[in-house]
């Protein structure tokens, strides 16, 4: 087993890390304070080829392997958790859906501008009454005009990038009586499709800068050629896409944990009490040791899942374990970072409280920790 990154992977990581240190970290507090979508940073990432990292070059992407992609997303999330979500939702969900299940025309028309970073993508699956229970969705897509189009009605909730997206991958029931076999997936163009309505965005605990939107569809007409794959395959599409997406949410968790560890190390060596740096105290040293150990373990689980995916092996359990562990570790490490900072950690004068707020989301979206434990157990018992 070789755990060393290749020269190319290391170069990519160093390039993204430099961009994050120079451009993202100085802006992170501002993004958190204003909660505005960082268009300029997204444009810079597009210029660096970071908005279509694993997508093949023929469709505008950088064709990076999944190790490189995860490492890059880890670095982006180290700078800003919100920016990490923007990129993960755009690539792992929207881009990958079209790449995996779209036809050539759909890839050329809709995937290429997404992968090139000219447009932003979103993934509309969740609803107010259908979070973990996907088949409980109420949104419908009724065939009309002899099967040449669909009429979509319903709404979606918790949609990352939903209010700024140029392309939205939408899931709706084409056969409401068929359960999970009656769900289909579609490409929606908000600026072109009448009946697409952004109801608003959520005021969240963290993950600022990435708008989480509520969407509504009122008699929205979609041409039949916007459907991805066959009717009734949407549930399978969603599961496969979310499985790959969990690797990148693990990367987001690792990045946030690393940021919290970095700040705690810096502060512990600068802060003096009783005439010595607090890093001299064994209690602080043990905290730092545990924080680093957990972060490293989460990183290895992330790469194990990426390796399985690249090899074409089943990686359902590995992706669930990586996402579950990295999510909980990010919160735990961020919490210890606050504790090491003491009273200062509870203020906005230091970034550690932001890491804690950003970390909590990892345990909720793209599969809650409870659902992931069910998934892991099911894989073990199958």
Q: Which domains are assigned to the chain?
A: 7-120 (1.10.540.10), 122-231 (2.40.110.10), 235-381 (1.20.140.10)
What is the spatial distance between Cα 320 and Cα 313, in angstroms, rounded to a whole number?
Answer: 14
| Closest residue by Cα to residue 311 from 59, 114, 67, 52 | 67
What is the spatial distance between Cα 277 and Cα 279, in angstroms, rounded to a whole number?
Answer: 5
**pLDDT < 50 positions in the chain:** none
Query: Residue 379's pLDDT is what?
Result: 98
C-alpha distance across the termini of the chain, in Å: 27
57 is a catalytic site residue: no
Query: Residue 1's pLDDT is what?
Result: 77
169, 124 contact by CB (below 8 A): yes
188, 220 contact by CB (below 8 A): yes
Both structure tokens of 148: 């040449």
| Closest residue by Cα to residue 216 from 163, 262, 166, 156 | 156
The pLDDT tens digits for 21-38 are 999 999 999 999 999 999
Entry field: residues in the chain: 382
Query: Residue 146's pLDDT is what?
Result: 83
CA dihedral 41, 167, 111, 238 (to 10 degrees): 110
Q: Which of 353, 366, 370, 379 is catalytic?
A: 366
């Amino acid at each position: 087993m070789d755990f060393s990154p290749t020269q190319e992977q290391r170069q990519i990581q160093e390039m993204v890390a430099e961009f994050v240190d120079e451009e993202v970290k100085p802006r992170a507090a501002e993004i958190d304070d204003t909660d505005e979508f960082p268009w300029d940073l997204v444009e810079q990432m597009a210029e660096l080829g970071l908005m279509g990292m694993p997508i093949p070059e023929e469709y505008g992407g950088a064709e990076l392997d999944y190790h490189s992609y995860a490492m890059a997303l880890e670095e982006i999330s180290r700078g800003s958790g919100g920016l990490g979500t923007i990129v993960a939702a755009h690539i792992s969900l929207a881009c990958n859906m079209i790449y995996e299940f779209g036809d050539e025309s759909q890839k050329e028309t809709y995937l290429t501008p997404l992968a090139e970073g000219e447009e932003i993508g979103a993934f509309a699956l969740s609803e107010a009454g259908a979070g973990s229970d996907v088949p409980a969705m109420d949104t419908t897509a009724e065939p009309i005009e002899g099967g040449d189009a669909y009429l979509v009605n319903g709404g979606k909730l918790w949609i990352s990038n939903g209010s700024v997206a140029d392309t939205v991958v939408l899931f709706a029931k084409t056969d409401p009586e068929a359960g999970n076999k009656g769900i289909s997936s579609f490409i929606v163009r908000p600026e072109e499709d009448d009946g697409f309505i952004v109801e608003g965005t959520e005021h969240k605990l963290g993950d600022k800068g990435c708008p989480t939107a509520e969407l509504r569809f009122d008699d929205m007409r979609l041409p039949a050629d916007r459907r991805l794959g066959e009717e009734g395959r949407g549930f399978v599409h969603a599961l496969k896409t979310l499985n790959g997406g969990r690797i990148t949410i693990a990367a987001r968790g690792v990045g946030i944990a690393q940021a919290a560890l970095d700040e705690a190390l810096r502060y512990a060596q600068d802060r003096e009490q009783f005439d010595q740096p607090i890093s001299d105290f064994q209690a602080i040293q043990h905290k730092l040791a545990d924080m680093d150990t957990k972060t490293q373990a989460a990183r290895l689980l992330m790469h194990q899942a990426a390796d399985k995916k690249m090899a074409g092996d089943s990686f359902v359990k590995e992706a669930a374990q990586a996402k579950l562990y990295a999510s909980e570790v990010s919160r735990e490490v961020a919490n210890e970072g606050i504790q090491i900072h003491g009273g200062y950690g509870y203020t906005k004068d230091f970034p550690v409280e932001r890491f804690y707020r950003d970390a909590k989301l990892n345990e909720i979206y793209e599969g809650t920790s409870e659902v992931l434990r069910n998934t892991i157990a099911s894989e073990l018992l199958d």
